[in-house]
């Protein structure tokens, strides 16, 4: 499978396999209906019990190796077409079959709940890549009638910024991965990732979100699920994409519009897992997807001081740009 299927998979769907009662938790995330044997507290409670299931998540035995030809063996993963095996020592093993059936096996002694954040994070992102979706590593919020995506590597401050914008009334679409699908009627749209925010406790404190704080993402970690102030359950067209950077000259905030050439490169390098794209040979399809986003959206680089003291100024700067008439095409970069 080397092509990108831009349309969401609305095919026949999986049956609830032989034992429908095994599944006790149902979610909708990234345009997929998910049935799981364990609770996934990262995901919002959207009951899709009666819908066709696209993805199943089951606690079971996972082999140490993919026993199929044409497999690429990485340091802790194996990849072959639509099958994927991920091994995280002392955490567990994750198997994706046919880009739709996920089996996970916790490391000895570890409760299955400890793996839920991995299932809805990396594993879901990998599954979307296997399905040929264009997946960006970014948070997304609703601005006007479209979506603004905030991209950057882990630690760049995506979730924090999205949660801070949530407090200013911008409904949340995605926390960490932004799946894009194109259809003839609506063009390229971001689909909700169905997540709660994942925030470190310093961000929860600084944003005064203690009241919305839920379970920890793992028992040992100071990182928590935080209920968004408001969410959107339908896809939105991409209005703008910002690549987040730390300012390196003491400047509090600046926004620069990317050149056409840079814009496509920004979209490509913010793929959720660029390696999977490379290993699957999807670059060409990603290239054309990136080009389509740049045609209709504004692509910007946002540099800002990465501390909570200046967060309000960063938000003000963004809001000012969004208020510009004809944004994103004509919105001034600051």
Partner 1 sequence: MTPRSWLASYPKSGNTWFRLIVANLDAEDDNSLATGSSGTPDLMASARAPFDDMLLLESGLLTHDECAALRPLFHRAELMQDGNGVFRQEAERPHSTKMGYRLTKTHDAWSYLPDGQPVLGGAQAAGNAILMVRDPRDIAPSLANHMGFSIDQAIDFMNDPDASLSGRRHEQTLQLRQLLMCWSEFNASWLDQTSIPVHCIRYEDMQEAPMAAMSAALAACGRAVDTERLRRAIERTSFDTLHKLEEESGFAEAYRGRRFFRRGVSGAWRDELTRGQVKRIERNHAAMMDRLGYEAAFYSEF
Cα angle vertex 273, ends 222, 9, to 5°?
105
Residue 333 C-beta: closest distance to partner 1, Å: 18
**The one among 26, 27, 77, 104 contacting partner 1 by CB under 8 A:** 77
Contact 151/270 with Cβ under 8 angstroms? Answer: yes
CA angle 303, 307, 313 (to 5 degrees): 65
Q: Does 222 bind partner 1 (CB under 8 A)?
A: yes
- What number of chain residues touch partner 1 (CB under 8 A)? 46
90 binds partner 1 (CB under 8 A): yes
Compute the 3-state secondary structure of the chain and give helix, strand, coil in percent, each to the nearest 5: 25, 35, 40
Q: Is 76 in the site for partner 1 (CB under 8 A)?
A: yes
Alpha-helical runs (H) found in the chain:
116-118, 124-130, 158-167, 201-206, 260-269, 274-279, 283-296, 311-322
Instruction: Pick the closest to residue 159 from 120, 198, 121, 125 (CA basis).
Output: 198
DSSP per position, 194-208:
-B-EEEEHHHHHHTT
Which of positions 110-129 make contact with partner 1 (CB under 8 A)? Answer: 117-118, 121-122, 126
At closest approach, how far in Å is the CB of 45 from partner 1? 21
Q: Which listed residue (55, 86, 180, 240) binds partner 1 by CB under 8 A?
A: 86
Which of these ranges, 31-39, 139-147, 162-170, 244-252, lies near partner 1 under the rule CB under 8 A?
Answer: 244-252
Residue 265: CA atoms inside 13 Å, Cβ hemisphere, count? 6
Q: Is 89 in the site for partner 1 (CB under 8 A)?
A: yes
Residue-by-residue DSSP string for 23-75: --EEEEETTEEEEESS--TTB-----TTSPBSEEEEE----SS--SSS-EE-S
Binding mask 141-180 for partner 1 (x = CB under 8 A): ------------xxxx------------------------
Give the single-character DSSP code of 271: B
User: Counting contacts by CB under 8 A, is residue 203 touching partner 1?
Assistant: yes
Q: Return the residue of 1, 246, 260, 332 that touches partner 1, per CB under 8 A.
A: 246
Site string for partner 1, 268-297 (x = CB under 8 A): -----xxxx-xx------------------
Q: Which residue from 7, 221, 230, 284 is in contact with partner 1, where contact means CB under 8 A?
A: 221
User: Closest approach of Cβ 151 to partner 1, in Å?
Assistant: 12
Nearest 5°: CA angle at 138, between 55 and 141? 95
**What does the binding site for partner 1 look like in residue numbers (CB under 8 A)?**
72-77, 86, 88-91, 117-118, 121-122, 126, 153-156, 198, 200-203, 217-218, 220-223, 246-251, 273-276, 278-279, 305-307
């Amino acid at each position: 499978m080397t092509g990108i299927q831009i349309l969401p998979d609305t095919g026949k769907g999986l049956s609830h396999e032989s034992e429908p009662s095994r599944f006790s938790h149902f979610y909708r995330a990234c345009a997929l209906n998910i049935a799981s044997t364990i609770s996934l507290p990262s995901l919002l409670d959207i009951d899709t019990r009666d819908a066709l299931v696209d993805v199943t998540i089951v606690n079971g035995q996972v082999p140490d190796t993919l026993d199929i030809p044409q497999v690429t063996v990485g340091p802790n993963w194996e990849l072959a077409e639509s099958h994927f095996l991920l091994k995280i020592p002392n955490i567990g093993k994750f198997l994706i079959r046919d880009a739709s059936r996920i089996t996970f096996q916790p490391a000895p002694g570890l409760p299955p709940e400890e793996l839920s954040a991995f299932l809805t994070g990396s594993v879901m992102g990998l599954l979307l890549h296997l399905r040929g979706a264009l997946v960006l590593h970014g948070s997304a919020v609703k601005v006007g009638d479209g979506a603004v995506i905030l991209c950057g590597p882990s630690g760049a401050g995506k979730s924090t910024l999205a949660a801070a914008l949530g407090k200013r009334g911008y409904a949340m679409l995605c926390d960490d991965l932004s799946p894009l699908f194109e259809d003839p009627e609506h063009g390229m749209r971001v689909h909700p990732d169905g997540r709660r925010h994942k925030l470190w406790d310093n961000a929860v404190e600084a944003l005064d979100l203690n009241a919305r704080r839920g379970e920890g993402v793992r028992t040992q970690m100071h990182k928590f699920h935080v209920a968004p102030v408001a969410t959107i359950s339908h896809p939105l067209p991409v209005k703008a994409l910002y690549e987040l950077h730390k300012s390196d000259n003491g400047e509090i905030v600046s926004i620069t519009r990317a050149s056409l050439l840079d814009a496509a490169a920004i979209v490509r390098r913010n793929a959720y897992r660029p390696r999977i794209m490379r290993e699957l040979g999807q670059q060409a399809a990603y290239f054309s997807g990136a080009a389509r986003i740049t045609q209709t959206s504004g692509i910007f680089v946002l540099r800002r001081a990465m501390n909570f003291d200046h967060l309000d100024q960063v938000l003000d700067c963004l809001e000012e740009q969004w208020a510009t008439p004809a944004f994103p095409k004509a919105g001034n970069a600051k």
